[in-house]
Amino acid sequence: MAAYYRTPAGSVSRLFTDCLQQSHLLIAGATGSGKSVFENGLIAAALYDSPLRRRFILIDPKGTELDMYQDLPHTITYAHTTDEAVQALQTAADIVQRRFADMRRRHIKTYDGSHLYIIIDELMYLMNRPTVKRQVYDLLQDLLCIARSAAVHVIAITQNPTRDTLHPSIRCNFDARMALRTATRQDSRNIIEVGGCERLPNPKTAGKAYGYYRHGGDITLYELPYVTEDEITRLIRHWTAPAGRPRTA
């Protein structure tokens, strides 16, 4: 009895497509720089694929940014307390180990199943919580170092790109980074290792958000793609309505 999904029609930004292909992605910028818009657009782009191809572990410390995605068939777990966040990271680590065991059994070097995205809405909050800081750091470091060949990706968002939050041992494992408008030149350097983000236009006055996308040694300035709330709602309704759920053939 095979399950199938009816996928929604639509087009996806090439930037979002590229971001979803990277091993890990860091999205950082000041408050009001467009992080939430970019984050939701990226998730919307993933929702043009079925849960057989893309899965989510959502970590949402504020409980307001990612809660609308928790009932999707793509979502394995949704966490909004610190204890739940640690458990979600442990769940991701367990999935990685199961995938490695499967890869060894089948004598393959790269996992060929669904891509799993661990989306952390506010990395700073978790990294600065005394009760879980060590656990979060250790689990995140392991995932960043070994998970890529298991098709497990970390997408972390932060509005406080300080050296304490983006410790070099963490930052160096994000091979792709989207740097939006920052408060200072140093914040820009903490994200993409060069200044410039502090001079980006304010989206509130410009009406558009811009960001520097660093991948490898290349840094490119983009006007960030915008996905409307109506389109995001359409995608959520598609996947949560009975017609969007798996059926037996």
User: Do 36 and 65 touch, CB atoms closer than 8 A?
Assistant: yes
CATH code assigned at 30: 3.40.50.300
Enter the pTM of the model.
0.93
In a domain? residue 231? yes
Q: Is 8 exposed, middle or buried (0-12, 13-18, 19+ CB in 10 A)?
A: middle
DSSP-derived letter for residue 195 is: S
User: Both tokens of residue 57?
Assistant: 């572990």
Over residues 191-225, the pLDDT tens digits come to 999 999 999 999 989 999 999 999 988 999 999 99
Task: Confirm whether 247 is domain-assigned.
Answer: no
3-state helix vs strand vs coil in the chain, percent to 5: 40, 20, 40
Is residue 11 domain-resident? no
DSSP state for residue 158 in the 8-state scheme = E
What is the DSSP pairing of strand 176-179 with strand 210-215?
Answer: antiparallel
Closest CA to 180 of 33, 48, 9: 33
CA distance 199 to 180: 10
The count of structural domains within the chain is 1
The answer to whether residue 8 is domain-embedded is no
Domain extent for 168? 17-242
Tens of pLDDT along 36-68?
Answer: 999 999 999 999 999 999 999 999 998 889 999
Q: Which residues of the chain have pLDDT under 70?
A: 1-3, 243-249
**Close Cβ partners of 160 (under 8 Å, ≥ 6 residues apart):** 124
Q: Residue 2: inside a domain, yes or no?
A: no
Is residue 25 within 8 Å of 44, Cβ to Cβ?
Answer: no
9 in a structural domain:
no
Edge to edge, the sheet with strand 176-179 lists: 75-79, 54-59, 115-120, 152-158, 24-28, 176-179, 210-215, 218-223
pLDDT of residue 247: 38
Q: Is residue 200 part of a domain?
A: yes
Does 4 fall in a domain?
Answer: no
